[in-house]
Amino acid sequence: MNTGNGLLGFGVVGCAQPGNLRMTDLQEIVSVAMSYYPLGAIYHVNGITLLDPPLVDSFHVAREEALRIKDERNLGVVAIIQEGILSMAGDGGIVHARPSGLVLAHELGHTLGLEHPDEDCRPCCIKKLGECPYGSQLMGCIEIKPPVGFSPENIERLERGWLR
């Protein structure tokens, strides 16, 4: 499993419900996210936790566990992986992501200061029905067309800001 070898640590909290998420699923999601250069050179995974809270409380239980892990391990970022949540890089270093390595990599890009290539990115893609000019970029519309990776400009920015 690719867990990265960078200096910045991040934790992962997965919620088994809804969707029957398993530890092997979380490991694969993390491995895919870390395979997108330069994420694996910037981050390393500092623990993966799988919770199985009651469905009605799963979001709140996962958030509390993420905050506990973040403080306990002195991490800058903890990702919550769960079906049916809105993916976003939230305040306080808590990232929410659906169970997808692409989505996790995209949200980790936000934690490092990357933005969407166009502020009207999502509405643009919906209007053009999949003809996104940024479809091959990880910070573009990853749901419309699977990305190849970060754009060359984003890679340069990440290398300059985090690897030098």
pLDDT in tens, 99-150: 999 999 999 999 999 988 776 655 555 555 556 677 678 887 666 566 789 9
In this prediction, residue 55 carries a pLDDT of: 63
Range from 76-85, 107-116, 125-134, 155-164 carrying the lowest mean pLDDT: 125-134
In this prediction, residue 59 carries a pLDDT of: 77
Q: Which long-range contacts (CB under 8 A, 24 or more apart) does 64-68 make?
A: 65/13, 66/11, 66/13, 66/94, 67/92, 67/94
* Sheet (strand 77-81) strand order: 43-51, 8-15, 77-81, 94-97, 88-89
- Separation of alpha carbons 53 and 49, rounded Å: 12
Q: What are the residue ranges of CATH 3.40.390.10 in the chain?
A: 1-113
CB 90 within 8 A of CB 38: no
Q: Is the pTM of this model over 0.85?
A: yes
pLDDT in tens, 12-51: 999 887 778 899 999 999 999 999 999 999 999 999 999 8
In this prediction, residue 63 carries a pLDDT of: 87
More confident position, 93 or 54: 93
In this prediction, residue 122 carries a pLDDT of: 55
What is the DSSP pairing of strand 88-89 with strand 94-97?
A: antiparallel
Domain 1-113 has CATH 3.40.390.10: yes
Three-state SS annotation for the chain: CCCCCCCEEEEEEEECCCCCCCHHHHHHHHHHHHCCCCHHHHEEEEEEEEECCCHHHHHHHHHHHHHHHHHHHCCCEEEEECCCCCCEECHHHEEEECCCHHHHHHHHHHHCCCCCCCCCHHHHHHHHCCCCCCCCECCCCCCCCCCCECCHHHHHHHHHHHCC
In this prediction, residue 45 carries a pLDDT of: 93
